[in-house]
Amino acid sequence: MKLNSNTIKVLHVEYCEVRDIVDIELLNLEILILRNNLIRHIDNIVSFCNLRQLDISQNYGIDITPLQHMKGLKVLNTSWNGLQSIQALYSLKSLQELDLSGNERLIYALTTPSLVKLQIPYAFLTSVSSIQSLYNLIELDLSENALVDVFHLHFITNLQLLNLSCNQLCSVIPLRRLVLLRQLNLSSNRIVFIYPLFGLKSLVVCNLEYNLIDVRVIENNNVQFDLDYQEQPDQNQLCLSRKMRIIDSTSIQIFKTNQIKRIRFKFETEKNLIQWKIVERKLQFLQQLQTAANIFKLIN
């Protein structure tokens, strides 16, 4: 069916096994969603002069070359398309949001200064050097990759939301310059020391689940930590089980610590309450609590 109405501004054609868009003649179209079809060519996309948002995700093998002429495009989702190159996007100076998820091992050097939101999970990335010049980025998702270092992120000082979960990171030192960060996800990495995060005064939510962080002594009565514990002697560590909210050290329940070597935890703080001090003493905190409990039993 041929579409040629000049009054339509938003069009959704999803999961329809559409193979091309030659029959779409909507000159005033502003939003076009073509998710999960069989489209390979979008040559006539250039006729949509007013297009501001385009979703062509899950059209594996699609040729995005014609997008280089879409100067007014602001939001683009081209995830899970098996892209080999994104050179066509370099000329899109108005682009603000870009989703490249699932385009594995894509080699590129993004130089679009207008970008404020970028998503590249599930892309087998091993480096972030290609995005270090995106100074205006506010939201960045690099989860589910193979990153071992994020040194180049320290150039992107406007970041407020950063997702680095499910990588292979051991150090968070490069993040200490990101003083505007409000939400940070570092779950499922190999992080041991988190001291560089202490200076992030704007941080409101920080997820450190499933790391190798040693037990710390928490010395702050204002910050609320959500810790989930489950003793697993075979693995010599603690991981998710029952949730407990800790306001100060006196409210922490007593745990058996004989077999525990590590602890995994997640913490969330209220706004402007991320001023806390943690002294690194491996297992000392829980061991002191256990000792106190034993003394209490002897006294009584």
Give CA–CA dist 291/296, Å, rounded. 9
Instruction: Identify whether 134 is part of a domain.
Output: no
Task: Choose among 57, 36, 183: nearest CA to 121.
Answer: 57
- Span 156-160, mean pLDDT? 97
293: left (phi over 0), alpha (psi -120 to 50) or beta: alpha
Confidence of residue 3 (pLDDT cuts 50, 70, 90): low
Instruction: Give the per-residue pLDDT at 272.
Output: 30
Single pTM value for the model: 0.73
Instruction: Identify whether 239 is part of a domain.
Output: yes
Strand, coil or helix: 151:
helix
Give CA–CA dist 144/226, Å, rounded. 24
Among the ranges given (109-118, 244-253, 278-287), the one the predictor scored with the smallest mean pLDDT: 244-253
Query: What is the span of the domain harbouring residue 294?
Result: 217-300
Instruction: Identify whether 53 is part of a domain.
Output: no
Domain count across the chain: 1
Looking at the predicted structure, is the pLDDT value of residue 132 above 70? Answer: yes
Among the ranges given (23-27, 39-43, 231-235, 237-241), the one the predictor scored with the smallest mean pLDDT: 237-241
- Percentage of residues in the chain with pLDDT exceeding 90? 47
Instruction: Identify whether 236 is part of a domain.
Output: yes
First-to-final CA distance of the chain: 84
Task: Classify strands 216-218 and 205-207 as parallel, antiparallel or unpaired.
Answer: unpaired
Paired with 279 in beta bridges are: 217
Instruction: Identify whether 198 is part of a domain.
Output: no
Instruction: Identify whether 33 is part of a domain.
Output: no
Q: What is the dihedral of CA 192, 196, 198, 200, to 10 degrees?
A: -130
Confidence of residue 165 (pLDDT cuts 50, 70, 90): very high
Strand order through the sheet with 53-55: 10-12, 31-33, 53-55, 75-77, 97-99, 117-119, 139-141, 161-163, 183-185, 205-207, 267-268
Amino acid at 286: L
Give CA–CA dist 238/236, Å, rounded. 7
Instruction: Give the per-residue pLDDT at 107.
Output: 61
Instruction: Give the per-residue pLDDT at 259.
Output: 35
Dihedral of alpha carbons 240, 244, 245, 250, sign: negative
Q: In this predicted model, what pLDDT tens digit does every residue of 80-106 receive, in sequence order?
A: 999 988 999 999 999 999 999 999 867
Instruction: Identify whether 18 is part of a domain.
Output: no
CB 56 within 8 A of CB 78: yes
- Span 285-293, mean pLDDT? 55
Instruction: Identify whether 8 is part of a domain.
Output: no
Structure tokens at 85: 């190159």
Looking at the predicted structure, is the pLDDT value of residue 275 above 50? Answer: no
Give CA–CA dist 93/98, Å, rounded. 12
Instruction: Give the per-residue pLDDT at 7.
Output: 81
Looking at the predicted structure, is the pLDDT value of residue 289 above 80? Answer: no
Instruction: Give the per-residue pLDDT at 197.
Output: 82
